[in-house]
Structure 1
Amino acid sequence: MTESTPPAVPEATRKRGAVDGLRARQPAAVHSALGVLESVAQHGAGVSAREICEALDLPRATTYRLLNLLVQDEYLVRTPDLRGFALGSKLEQFGRAVMPTAPPRAAREIINELRGSIRAGVHLVRYDATHIVLSDIDPDFPLSHPERISRELDCSAMGRLLLTELGHDGHPSWAVVRPASSIHAITEHVTRSGYAMQNGELQPGHGCIAVAIRDDHDVLVAGLAVSMPGVRVENPAKIVDSLREAAQGLAPLLS
């Protein structure tokens, strides 16, 4: 007697089953993972797996599986003695993005002095790997499109500094909207002139100029930018000199 081949399951049925399974299991897993992160944050660095398990009333196997996944993805790290856990670098990045660290008082004094001498918006941004972190935005001249500046590196002078630092092929694809040839032209200009600029791309009739702030190892750590009417962007020499002078004073304070 031969075994009959089970009938093929239609693709639509398989997909529907996968979605149903996802709906049934994923929310609980996500909530449990978030609970683990909250538990580590509440207990502090060094909290043990047993303490997390008891606090959340989770099965031991589930707790260990979630901890291992969160460590693997850098949301958590093990303490040096390997007995406990602490929040990882991924969460630190999220924290800086939501609540950026304010520049030190001495840096704010330099920025405020520049704001008093230039009738335009003066902004400080910090750089975190491939991201812009808006650090000190001029309250009298707020950015017109902060979400685009943070998301599209090629649309602002601040972003173009980072693009040049990352290199022609080093930027993530999600961070730019222009073709590669245009990105190359942008980074070539920054390299050649020593500053970045854009005019009329974020807001008609307005533009921005930015200079780099580097640490002792010549690594880009921040950018100092001025946003102003486009006619002033077309003649940037005096503005660039003022930005560079301020950037020199800010470098040791931000490194």
Structure 2
Amino acid sequence: MAKGNDPYAVLPVAKAMQVFAYVTSQAHDVTLTEVVQALGMPKTTVFRYLQTLSAAGFFAHNVVQDRYGVGERFRELARMDAVYHSLRSTAQGEMDGLVGGFRETVNLAVLADDEVVYVDIREAARSQRFQARIGHRHPVHSTSLGKAIAAFLPVEAVERLVCTEFEQRTYRTLTDARTFRRHVEEARRRGFAMESGENEDGVTCVGVPILDDKGYPIAAVSLSAPDNRMQVLADRAAEALQDAARRITASLPSISLHGSV
């Protein structure tokens, strides 16, 4: 429950979260009456919250028995959170090792809403600061991270990405579907993707997918460096990134996100 002296708290939302927390913490499906008695809220208010959360997929409403339980949307989010938490925890050591070995920036990203989202970044002391920050969203087609993920997506998912408009980030950014498909196919064949100045001028990146236990790309890890330094690092970086990605995959829980992102 939100504190009464918190000027930013939205009371109806706080009450809805009480209902949410109660239902999801029970070992069995509950009735409207049970929730009302447990929380001491008006019956009409609880009913509206239960119906709203059910409509959003967070609860499942058994109409015949008139009981409420955890919905598929909540289970999906919990499954994703478990994998992503394990991903970040496992990847930290591998990313630190890559930064120590190459003294260049290492990035970890996932695919969300057809964009690459940076979830962790490790920068070396000597490395220049690049545009990407944790939480930033960048296009799939202009990043090695995005191409590495796309290379191991189902064909229909790749075609969905092709249907989106290709933003031109730099003068080198690819802007046509044919070139994008070719880059994706090359990344699938080699096991890693590259982009040179397509997302940020003067920067070359090597990206490798991180697969779940079903071979679905839940993330990607990349190494970024100025063009001149990457010329002599690319092959060694690709091999090191692939080794790190395999170790991360081996440490992930046996849960697949295929179809969940």
TM-score scaled by length of structure 2: 0.64
1:207 is matched with: 204
1:76 is matched with: 59
Q: Which has the larger radius of gyration?
A: 1
Gaps of 5+ in 2: 1-9, 168-174, 254-261
Amino acid at match of 1:74: G
Aligned in 2, Cα 1:82/1:110: closer, same or farther, shift over 3 Å? farther
Q: Does 1:189 align with 2:176?
A: no
Q: 1:36, CA displacement in angstroms?
A: 2.2
| CA distance, structure 2, for counterparts of residue 71 and residue 241 of structure 1 | 47
2:245 is matched with: 247
Aligned in 2, Cα 1:150/1:174: closer, same or farther, shift over 3 Å? farther
Q: 1:104, CA displacement in angstroms?
A: 6.7
Q: Does 1:229 align with 2:229?
A: no
Aligned in 2, Cα 1:116/1:93: closer, same or farther, shift over 3 Å? same
Q: Does 1:109 align with 2:93?
A: yes
| CA distance, structure 2, for counterparts of residue 111 and residue 207 of structure 1 | 18
| CA distance, structure 1, for counterparts of residue 136 and residue 212 of structure 2 | 23
* Larger displacement relative to structure 2 (155-164 or 237-246): 155-164
What are the within-5 Å matches in structure 2 for residues 65-214 of structure 1? 66-77=49-60, 83-86=67-70, 89=73, 93=77, 101=85, 103=87, 107-127=91-111, 130=114, 132-140=116-124, 144-146=131-133, 150-164=137-151, 165-167=153-155, 168-171=158-161, 177=167, 178-214=175-211
CA contact (8 A) 2:104 2:225 kept: yes
Q: 1:53, CA displacement in angstroms?
A: 5.2
Aligned in 2, Cα 1:37/1:206: closer, same or farther, shift over 3 Å? same
Question: What is the CA deviation profile of residues 21-80 of structure 1, one whole-angstrom value per residue up to 9, with x for unaligned ones?
Answer: xxxxxxxxx9857742453136752365345557585553x644553343243233469x
Over the aligned positions, Cα root-mean-square deviation in angstroms equals 4.1
CA contact (8 A) 2:107 2:122 kept: yes
Q: Which of 32, 52, 60 pairs up with 1:49?
A: 32
CA contact (8 A) 2:107 2:221 kept: yes
Q: 1:125, CA displacement in angstroms?
A: 2.8
Gaps of 5+ in 1: 1-29
Aligned in 2, Cα 1:199/1:104: closer, same or farther, shift over 3 Å? closer
Percent of matched pairs sharing the same residue: 19
| CA distance, structure 2, for counterparts of residue 172 and residue 123 of structure 1 | 24
- The number of residue pairs the alignment matches comes to 222
TM-score scaled by length of structure 1: 0.65
Aligned in 2, Cα 1:110/1:148: closer, same or farther, shift over 3 Å? closer
Secondary structure at the aligned position of 1:170 is classed as helix
CA contact (8 A) 1:45 1:87 kept: no
Aligned in 2, Cα 1:31/1:132: closer, same or farther, shift over 3 Å? farther
CA contact (8 A) 1:40 1:86 kept: no
